[in-house]
Amino acid sequence: MSQSIAPEPGTDVPSNPNEILLLQEAFGPRYRRIGPRKVVLNLTFWAHFLAGRMQLAYHVQQECFLLPTPGAKGVERVSVEELFKFTVHGLQQAAKLEPNKFPAAEIRLPRIKMLIEEMKLAAAVHTPGERDALVQFLNEEVAPQKRCDLTVAEIHGRYVANCRVKMRPVFPLSVFQRLLPRFVKDIFCVTKSHDLRRTAADGSIHWHKGFHGLSFTGG
């Protein structure tokens, strides 16, 4: 792929010649084959690539995207609608540069929405305190326990309450949901599952995302 993609109409930002290779080393190939005839975008790669080209930042506490102002004298908020336009433009340029490889069918509303969600993590700007607070919470309030499990929602509820009592900074829910599996895997060597069973008040059975082999400390 050529080393130059414009992140927004009328703007040409040159890439570091090694940038694509470095991103692929970190996040995998930019395209993924999921069937004999189907190729999709590696959204993690493209989120980091396009965020870098745009010089995009995502303010975790304010839950908004930021772009440099003209002349790079500051930053300004960019709406999701504007970011959608810039993202489509960047992908369309990439498709023109690699017409035989780029899966043009991926440039559609549901996939762009998923890509923008990935950009929140790729471009996240937050204080070390937020990360430290989550790690400290997991170390203090969660422990390995056979034949037990915790849903993501249960962990989040306990995490928010714990941070409020101890006056620690809290990640927004969308960021928490994306970071939690990584931290749980690093601390407890447990990966996220999608088959945690819970019974509602009306007796109905529901399945949730969460982690097997974990419990809150103290019961």
- In this structure, what are the phi and psi dihedrals at residue 193, rounded to the nearest 5 degrees? -120, 165
8 Å CB contact between 210 and 196: yes
Output DSSP code: residue 38: -
* pLDDT per residue as tens digits for the range 49-64: 999 999 999 887 778 8
* pLDDT per residue as tens digits for the range 53-102: 999 998 877 788 999 887 767 889 999 999 999 999 999 999 999 999 99
For the chain, domains (ranges, CATH) are 4-125 (no CATH), 128-216 (1.10.10.10)
pLDDT under 50 in the chain at which residues? 2-4, 6-7, 9-14
Predicted model pTM? 0.60
Six token digits for residue 203? 């007796």
Query: CA nearest 23: which of 55, 50, 57?
Result: 50
Question: What is the 3-state composition of the chain as percent helix, strand, coil, each rounded to the nearest 5?
Answer: 45, 25, 30
Which residues make Cβ contacts (< 8 Å) with residue 32, sequence separation at least 6?
A: 39, 40, 41, 42
| β-strands 205-216, 193-199 pairing | antiparallel
Output DSSP code: residue 104: G
Q: For residue 37, what pLDDT is reported? A: 86
What mean pLDDT is reported for the chain?
Answer: 88
The full DSSP string for 147-185 is EEEEEHHHHHHHHHHHHHHTT-----HHHHHHHHHHHHH
8 Å CB contact between 134 and 162: no
Q: Which residue blocks in 28-108 are alpha helix, DSSP H?
A: 43-54, 80-97
Q: For residue 129, what pLDDT is reported? A: 81
Q: For residue 168, what pLDDT is reported? A: 85
Q: For residue 10, what pLDDT is reported? A: 35
